[in-house]
Structure 1
Amino acid sequence: MKRILDPLDERILAELTANARIAHAELGAKVNLSRNAVRQRIERLERDGAIQGYTVRVGEGRRPTSLITSVIFVYRYDRMRGDEVLATLRSIPEITHCEVLSGEFDLMLRVEAASPERVHLVWKEIAAMPGVENTVTSFVLAVVI
């Protein structure tokens, strides 16, 4: 049975979202509970599925070695006035290269993501941009040079 989170649970989740490595004693001080009470609540949140795991955010210049690489070719409606597309692409961290092309497509993007599902979400974001007419996506199978 799903349990409704109370405001204290919500505060604990907010603090853990900001810093999943926070010590129980420090978290307890922030939410006005004892270390043991915080530990018990976290265990319940995990058991009930409100917390489904913990993750690592990799800092600048440090990339995981097992990334999925894909190339997305983008055709814009208007090549000459597509600056808003470029500005939005700069805000997507998985895009590691963006090159302007001659020929059929306007842009070639290199996307490095942790999973194929994340590549799909990036592709959906790009395809939904105003100014993007079409895309073609290919996954990199091997790097030979």
Structure 2
Amino acid sequence: MDRLDREILGILQQDARISYRDLGVRVGLSANAAADRVRRMLRDGVIRGFTVIVDPAADTRGGLVVFIDLTLRPDTTNEEFEQRVAGLPGITEVVHVTGEYDYLVRARAADPAALDALLRRLKRETGVAQSSTRLALRAAQRPPSGPNTA
């Protein structure tokens, strides 16, 4: 995997339904060249199914994949939080959930120091009152592939 492959993966993680034309425009390739790279990553098992699944074992970017449960401060609205968190680096998914916490955030951090910096920014800049962080060790089970891919 090279820099373009990693850039394509990042875009697909945000929008797995993006057209090859739009994907190519975003990374500076033709639609055919972008499609070829996606097909190769599908063939190599880096991408599986309609929803893009990046297996930490196949992902050469390294670093930590983390899941962060967050509780917002009472003075922070969901809309404010979602707007503020959108610009933070390393965040790959934000899900509003039921239960003890308000949100589940999936993120990538280069190392423990980068994770610490991300957690501090979440509390300082986005209205988070409390967090609980878990590290992904490996993908134990993969979702089944659907008929549609990338």
Shorter-chain TM band: 0.5 to 0.7
Residue 115 of structure 2 is aligned to residue 119 of structure 1: yes
Partner of 1:142: 138
Which aligned pairs between 1:1-145 and structure 2 lie closer than 5 A?
60-62=7-9, 65=60, 66-78=62-74, 81-129=77-125, 131-145=127-141
Identify if the C-alpha distance between structure 1 residues 59 and 144 changes in structure 2 by more than 3 Å, giving closer, same or farther: closer
Partner of 1:52: none
Q: Which has the higher contact order (CA 8 A, sep 6+)?
A: 2
Pick the structure with greater CA Rg: 1
Contact conserved, 1:73 with 1:109, CA < 8 A, in 2? yes
SS of 1:143's equivalent in the other structure is coil
Identify if the C-alpha distance between structure 1 residues 102 and 61 changes in structure 2 by more than 3 Å, giving closer, same or farther: same
SS of 1:125's equivalent in the other structure is helix
Q: TM-score if structure 2 supplies the norm length?
A: 0.51
SS of 2:89's equivalent in the other structure is coil
Cα distance in 1 for residues equivalent to 2:69 and 2:75: 14
Q: TM-score if structure 1 supplies the norm length?
A: 0.53
In structure 2, give the amino acid aligned to 1:67: G
In the alignment, structure 2 segments of 5+ residues that lack a partner are 11-58, 142-150
In structure 2, give the amino acid aligned to 1:104: E
Offset of residue 144 of structure 1: 0.5
Contact conserved, 1:69 with 1:110, CA < 8 A, in 2? yes
Cα distance in 1 for residues equivalent to 2:140 and 2:109: 20
Moved over 4 A (4+): none
Aligned length in residues? 90
Offset of residue 59 of structure 1: 6.4
Identify if the C-alpha distance between structure 1 residues 129 and 80 changes in structure 2 by more than 3 Å, giving closer, same or farther: closer
